[in-house]
Amino acid sequence: MVPFVDLKAQYRSIKPEIDAAIGKVLENASFVLGPAVADFETKFAPYTGCKHAVAVSTGTSALHLALLAASIKRGDEVIIPAMTFVATAMAVDYTGAKPVLVDVHPESYTMDPSKIEAAITSKTKAIMPVHLYGQPADMDPILAIAKKHNLIVIEDAAQAHGAEYKGRRCGSMGDIAGFSFYPGKNLGAYGEGGAITTNNDEFAKTVKILRDWGAEKKYYHDMKGYNYRMEGIQGAVLGVKMAYIEVWTEGRRNAGKLYGELLKNVAGVLAPKTMDYSRHVNHVYAIRVKNRDSVLKKLQDAGIGVGIHYPIPVHLLGCFAELGHKRGDFPVSEQIGDEELSLPMFPELTAEQVKEVVEELKKAI
C-alpha cells in the first residue's frame, strides 16, 4: 500500500512547531491577516526571488487579483494553455476576459511557445503560462513574444513553489504570479491559501487593496474589492513550513529521479521529461500509458494511490463550451487527457515505496 500523498506524515514531523504557531494565533485572536500572515509574506517573497508577496485566500483568488492588478477586464483576451487545472481559465473568466487556449508542448506539457503568436489578436492583453506538474514553462520565448506584442505575463505558479527556469525562480519571471497553498500543493496550508508575487510595487499595492474589500484605509472603499484575505492560522502554518520547503522539494526530486531510472526501460510507459532548462519540483509525477483507465484501476486494486491531472482539457470542459472548441483542436492536450497517470509523489516517499509502485505498475501494464 502506497498512498498518493501523505499529509499526515508531514504534520507528524513538525507537530510541536505547528501546534505552537497555531496556538499563538488563537491566543492573539489574530484570525484574519495579522502578524503571522505578514511574517509569512516576508519569508515567501525572497523565496520566489521577488520583492513582494501578498497572501490571499486561495490560489484562484491570487490569479484573479493578479489579472485585475494587470488591468485585465471584460473584452480582453488572455492566452492560457489548454492543459491545466480549470482554475487558470476560471480566473480569467472572473474578470470578464476571454481565455484563449493554445496547445502544450509534447515533451514539457507546458504552453507551447510556437503556438502563441497565432492566437494573438487585437484584444490580447496577457499571456498566462502554467508551470504544470512543477516544471517551469519555457519562459524565454514566452517573454520575448510578450515583449514584442506588448503583453503582460502572469505566471500560474500554483504547482511550482521553488521551481527554476535557467536558475530563475518561478513566480519572478513574469509581471506578476499566483501561487496556491491548497493542502496538497508543494507548500500546503491547513486549509485554503494563496499568494501573488511580483516585483511591481503598483501591482502589489493594488492586490493588497483588492484582497480586503478595496479599502486601503478601513471603511474607505475606493475600489470594488473582494474578501480574499488569508486567515491567520494559514499564515502561521505556512510560516513554519518555509523552513522545510527546500528539504521537502529535494525529497520530491529524489523520488522523481528514482522513478525516472526505474521506468527508463519499461515498455509502454512514457516517463515525464525534465527539460534541460528546469529545476522540476515534481508536484505531480505524470507518466503516460496507452491503456490508462485499466492501469489506473489495477493500481488502485493493488493499493497504490494514483490520480489523473487532468482527464479533460479546458476546451472540452462543459463549462467552457462557449469557447466553441471541439475534439482535435489541441491534440497534445487531448493525448495527455487520455493517457496521463499520476503516481504517488510526496516528500516523504521512500525508495522502497517508489520501487513497490514501479513493480505494481509493471504488472498492471
Ligand X SMILES: *Cc1c(COP(=O)(O)O)cnc(C)c1O
What are the Cα distances from residue 150, in Å, to 112, 175, 228, 264, 344?
A: 19, 12, 29, 42, 41
Task: Please tell me whether residue 333 binds ligand X under the rule CB under 6 A.
Answer: no
User: Which residue from 160, 139, 131, 81 is spatially nearest to 329, judged by alpha carbons?
Assistant: 81
Check if the beta carbon of residue 83 is closer than 8 Å to that of residue 105: no
Kindly state whether residue 182 participates in binding ligand X, applying the rule CB under 6 A: yes
Please pick, from the candidates 59, 99, 232, 235, the single residue that binds ligand X as defined by CB under 6 A: 59
Is residue 124 within 8 Å of residue 149, measured between CB atoms?
yes
Q: Report if residue 353 touches ligand X, rule: CB under 6 A.
A: no
Beta bridge partners of 124: 77
Build a one-symbol-per-residue string for 76-95: x at contacts with ligand X by CB under 6 A, - elsewhere. Answer: --------xx-xx-------
Query: Which region, judged by CB under 6 A, interacts with ligand X, from 54-62, 69-77, 228-236, 285-293?
Result: 54-62
Max Cα distance, the chain (Å): 64
Strand ranges (DSSP E) for 23-174? 52-56, 77-81, 98-102, 124-127, 152-156, 164-165, 168-169
x/- map, 247-276, ligand X, by CB under 6 A = ------------------------------
**Least distance CB 363 / ligand X (angstroms):** 30
| Contacts of ligand X in 136-165 (CB under 6 A) | 156, 158-159
For ligand X, the binding residue among 30, 48, 60, 198 (CB under 6 A) is 60
Between 77 and 192, CB nearer to ligand X: 192
**Closer Cβ to ligand X, 41 or 156, answer by number:** 156
226 CB neighbour count, 10 Å cutoff: 18
Distance CA 363, CA 149 (A): 51
Q: Which residues bind ligand X (CB under 6 A)?
A: 58-60, 84-85, 87-88, 130, 156, 158-159, 180, 182, 192, 194
